[in-house]
C-alpha cells in the first residue's frame, strides 16, 4: 500500500492533517535540530577546536560570535532576496547553504578560515526558522498555528537535550571536526525530507524587496522584536555562565555538567510546547506571562545555586522561558501585514542579539565583583525590560493590529 501524498491540497481545504502534517513537521523540526546542535555544541567543544587551530580559548570564542553575526546579517538579507520564491524551495536552499558552511567548518585549516565558515553557517539560521514558521502556519487551522510553529523550534530544544551530548561523545572519541561534519549530514537529510514531504506552494510573485522592507515601517514589528531582543537576554545571561556557576557556587564536578545542561534543555522543550499552546489560546498576552515567569525564576537562581537539587529545579523553570519564541514568532505574522517573510526571519536576529546582550551584561556583573550568581538578577532585569516593552506593544496594539490571514 503506497503512503499518502503529503502535498495534496485544494483551495477549498488548504490544511494538512494526520500523517501528512506529521511528516512535514518532522521534516522542518529536523532542520531546527541541526541548527540547535551546531549552535550549542560549538560552545561545548570550544576548548578542543581552540587547541586544534592553535589559538587560546578567548580568541576561539570569536568563532561563536561569528556565527551569531551571520544569523543577524543573514536573516533579513535572505528573507528579502527570497521572498518571491516557493517556501519549500527556499528551505531546501537554506539547508544547503547551512550544510556547506558546516562541512567547510569541519575542514577549516586555520582560525581565520574557521571564522569565515562559521559566519557562513549562521547566515541561513534565522531565515530558515522564519520561512519554516510561515509554511507551517499556512497548512494548519488558525487556532493551531502557534502550536504547529513551536514544533520547528522543538527541534532546536531537542538538540540541547539529546543532540549535543551525543555529538560531544562522538567528538571526544574521533575529534572536534566531527561535530560540524555530523551537523552537515543532518542538514542534508533535512533537505531530502523537505523535498519529499513539504507542500509545493507557488511562491508570491508580488513579494518584491520594497514590500518586504515595508515591515520595518510598522511600529508593532519593532516593538515585538524589542521584546525578544531584551526579554530573551535574561535566559542567556544565566546560560552562558551556568557551568562556571555550578562548579564555583554549587560545587559540582565537571561530570555533572552535561546533566545540568540537559535539564535546562528539558525546561526549554516544555516551555516551547507550553508557549505554543498559550499563544493559540491567549495571543500576545502569553508573552507577558512568560516574561514574568522568567523574571521570577531568574530571581530565584542566586539562592537555588547553593544546592544541586534546587539548582536543577530552577534551571528547568528558567529554561521554560524559552517558550517566548513561539509566541513572538506568531505575533510577527499578525503585525507584519504583507511583509511576512522578513518579519518572521527577523525574530531570530532579535534572539541572537539577546544571546549577545545577556552574556555581555552578566559578564560585566561578574567582573564587577558581584559574584557568579549575579547573572540571575541581571537576567531578571532584562526579562522585566522585555515586559516593559510588551506593555507598550500591547497598549498600542489594542488600537490597531494588522492581521494577515
Q: Where do the domains of the chain lie? A: 17-207, 210-405
Question: Cα separation of 186 and 33, whole Å?
Answer: 8
Given a cut of 70, is residue 185 above it in pLDDT?
yes
Question: Nine-digit cell at 162?
Answer: 539529546
Buried b (16+ CB within 10 A) or exposed e, 257-266: beebbbbbbb
Question: Nine-digit cell at 65?
Answer: 560570535
- Do residues 64 and 41 lie in contact, with contact meaning Cβ atoms separated by under 8 Å? no
Radius of gyration of the chain from its Cα atoms, rounded to whole angstroms: 20
Share of the chain above pLDDT 90, in %: 30
Q: Is 402 helix (H, G, I), strand (E, B) or coil?
A: coil
- Give the chain's mean pLDDT: 82
- Which tens digits make up the pLDDT trace of 12-61? 445 655 677 888 888 998 999 999 888 777 766 766 777 888 887 667 76
Looking at residue 211, its pLDDT comes to: 63
Residue 235 neighbours by CB under 8 Å, 6+ apart: 294, 298, 318, 319, 321, 322, 354, 358, 379, 383
Torsions phi, psi for 22 (to 5 deg): -60, -40
- Do residues 352 and 129 lie in contact, with contact meaning Cβ atoms separated by under 8 Å? no
Question: Cα separation of 50 and 266, whole Å?
Answer: 29
Given a cut of 70, is residue 204 above it in pLDDT?
no
- Picking from 124, 181, 125, 163, the residue whose alpha carbon sits closest to that of residue 41 is 163
- Do residues 368 and 302 lie in contact, with contact meaning Cβ atoms separated by under 8 Å? no
Residue 377 neighbours by CB under 8 Å, 6+ apart: 298, 299, 302, 365
Question: Nine-digit cell at 405?
Answer: 490571514
Residue 53 neighbours by CB under 8 Å, 6+ apart: 60, 108, 110, 111, 114
- Do residues 83 and 64 lie in contact, with contact meaning Cβ atoms separated by under 8 Å? no
C-alpha separations of 103 from 53, 183, 187, 238 in Å: 16, 8, 10, 31
* Prediction pTM value: 0.76
Question: Nine-digit cell at 154?
Answer: 522543538
May I ask the CATH architecture of the domain 17-207?
Answer: Up-down Bundle (1.20)
- Which tens digits make up the pLDDT trace of 251-276? 988 778 778 888 888 898 888 888 88
- Picking from 83, 347, 139, 98, the residue whose alpha carbon sits closest to that of residue 227 is 347
User: Do the first three CATH levels of 17-207 and 210-405 match, i.e. the same topology?
Assistant: yes
- Do residues 324 and 291 lie in contact, with contact meaning Cβ atoms separated by under 8 Å? yes
- Which tens digits make up the pLDDT trace of 130-140? 888 888 877 77
- Which tens digits make up the pLDDT trace of 287-310? 999 999 999 999 999 999 999 999
Residue 139 neighbours by CB under 8 Å, 6+ apart: 9, 14, 15, 16, 21, 24, 148, 199
- Do residues 291 and 387 lie in contact, with contact meaning Cβ atoms separated by under 8 Å? yes
CA angle 237, 98, 39 (to 5 degrees): 20
Report residue 10's pLDDT band, with 50, 70 and 90 as the boundaries.
Answer: very low
Report residue 402's pLDDT band, with 50, 70 and 90 as the boundaries.
Answer: very low
Report residue 338's pLDDT band, with 50, 70 and 90 as the boundaries.
Answer: low
Longest dimension (CA), the chain: 67
Question: Nine-digit cell at 10?
Answer: 485544494
Residue range 210-405 in CATH 3.40.50.1970: no
Higher pLDDT pick, 229 / 204 = 229
Buried b (16+ CB within 10 A) or exposed e, 301-340: bbebbeebeebbebbbbbbbbbbbbbbbbbbbbbbbbebb
CA angle 42, 70, 352 (to 5 degrees): 75
Amino acid at each position: 500500500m503506497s503512503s499518502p501524498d503529503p502535498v495534496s491540497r485544494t483551495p477549498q481545504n488548504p490544511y494538512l492533517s494526520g500523517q501528512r502534517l506529521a511528516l512535514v513537521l518532522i521534516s522542518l523540526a529536523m532542520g531546527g535540530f541541526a541548527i540547535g546542535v551546531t549552535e550549542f555544541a560549538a560552545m561545548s567543544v570550544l576548548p578542543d577546536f581552540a587547541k586544534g587551530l592553535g589559538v587560546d580559548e578567548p580568541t576561539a570564542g570569536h568563532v561563536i560570535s561569528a556565527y551569531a553575526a551571520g544569523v543577524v546579517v543573514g536573516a533579513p538579507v535572505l528573507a528579502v532576496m527570497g521572498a518571491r520564491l516557493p517556501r519549500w524551495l527556499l528551505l531546501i536552499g537554506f539547508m544547503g547553504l547551512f550544510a556547506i558552511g558546516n562541512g567547510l567548518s569541519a575542514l577549516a585549516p586555520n582560525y581565520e578560515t574557521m571564522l569565515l565558515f562559521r559566519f557562513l553557517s549562521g547566515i541561513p539560521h534565522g531565515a530558515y526558522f522564519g520561512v519554516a514558521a510561515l509554511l507551517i502556519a499556512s497548512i494548519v487551522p488558525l487556532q493551531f498555528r502557534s502550536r504547529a510553529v513551536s514544533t520547528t523550534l522543538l527541534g532546536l530544544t531537542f538538540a540541547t537535550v539529546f543532540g549535543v551530548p551525543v555529538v560531544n561523545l562522538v567528538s571526544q572519541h574521533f575529534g572536534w571536526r566531527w561535530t560540524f561534519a555530523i551537523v552537515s549530514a543532518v542538514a542534508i537529510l533535512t533537505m531530502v525530507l523537505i523535498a519529499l514531504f513539504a507542500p509545493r506552494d507557488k511562491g508570491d510573485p508580488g513579494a518584491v524587496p520594497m514590500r518586504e522592507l515595508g515591515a520595518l515601517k510598522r511600529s508593532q514589528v519593532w516593538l515585538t522584536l524589542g521584546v525578544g531582543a531584551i526579554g530573551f537576554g535574561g535566559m542567556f545571561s544565566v546560560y552562558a555562565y551556568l557551568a562556571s556557576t555550578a562548579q564555583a557556587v554549587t560545587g559540582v564536578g565537571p561530570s555533572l555538567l552535561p546533566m545540568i545542561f540537559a535539564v535546562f534543555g528539558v525546561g526549554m522543550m516544555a516551555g516551547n510546547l507550553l508557549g505554543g499552546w498559550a499563544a493559540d489560546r491567549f495571543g500576545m498576552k502569553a508573552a507577558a506571562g512568560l516574561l514574568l515567569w522568567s523574571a521570577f525564576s531568574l530571581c530565584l537562581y542566586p539562592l537555588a545555586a547553593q544546592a544541586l537539587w534546587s539548582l536543577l529545579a530552577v534551571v528547568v523553570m528558567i529554561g521554560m522561558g524559552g517558550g517566548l519564541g513561539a509566541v513572538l514568532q506568531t505575533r510577527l505574522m499578525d503585525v507584519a501585514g504583507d511583509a511576512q517573510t522578513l518579519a518572521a526571519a527577523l525574530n531570530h536576529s532579535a534572539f541572537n542579539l539577546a544571546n549577545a546582550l545577556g552574556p555581555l551584561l552578566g559578564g560585566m556583573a561578574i567582573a564587577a565583583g558581584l559574584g557568579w550568581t549575579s547573572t540571575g538578577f541581571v537576567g531578571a532585569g532584562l526579562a522585566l525590560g522585555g515586559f516593559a516593552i510588551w506593555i507598550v506593544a500591547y497598549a498600542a496594539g489594542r488600537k490597531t493590529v494588522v492581521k494577515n490571514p
